[in-house]
């Protein structure tokens, strides 16, 4: 079985990966600039017109808070195993919800075509989900696996004694 310190190291690593994923790009755009109509303010206007993209910003704040709470709880004491499991599970669910929102936004922009693409201030050849969202999912999976290992070890020890 894995030592308890390594489970904590794995959990802290997952939390840090998740926190880094929040600050990495969530949408990647390959653009071909049209220098006559480049306007940077229109990108935020278009993003704010999609309500679920506004909510992903608040969900990302919650994701960072959950990661910090998970790391602090992990480093505190062994008696908060169910709280660790709940924090890790909730961060995983939030990561999946954020991925769904970003993916829906990307699909909406692809479906709307060139007219809306020019609203961004440039014409782009492709838009896709960025690697930051995937890093959030990977980090939350690592956190969840660490929490499950710690929780399961506590159950096995209780049954043996």
Domain definitions of the chain by residue range: 4-160
**pTM for the structure as a whole:** 0.79
Residue 26 has pLDDT above 70, yes or no: yes
CA-based end-to-end distance of the chain? 18
Question: Measured between alpha carbons, how far is 62 from 37 in angstroms, rounded to an integer?
Answer: 36
Residue 119 has pLDDT above 80, yes or no: no
Per residue in 41-72, is it b (16+ CB within 10 Å) or e — as a string? eeeeebbeeeeebeebeebbeebbebbebbbe
């Amino acid at each position: 079985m894995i030592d308890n310190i390594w489970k904590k190291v794995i959990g802290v690593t997952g939390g840090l990966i998740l926190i880094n994923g929040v600050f990495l790009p969530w949408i990647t755009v390959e653009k071909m600039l049209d220098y006559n109509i480049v306007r940077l303010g229109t990108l935020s206007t278009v993003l704010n017109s999609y309500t679920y993209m506004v909510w992903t910003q608040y969900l990302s704040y919650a994701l960072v808070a959950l990661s910090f709470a998970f790391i602090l709880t992990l480093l505190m004491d062994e008696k908060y195993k169910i709280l660790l499991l709940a924090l890790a599970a909730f961060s995983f669910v939030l990561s999946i919800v954020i991925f769904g929102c970003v993916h829906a936004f990307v699909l909406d922009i692809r479906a709307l075509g060139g007219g809306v693409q020019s609203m961004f201030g440039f014409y782009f050849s492709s838009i896709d989900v960025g690697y930051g969202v995937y890093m959030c999912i990977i980090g939350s999976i690592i956190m969840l696996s660490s929490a499950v290992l710690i929780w399961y070890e506590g159950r096995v020890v209780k049954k043996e004694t």
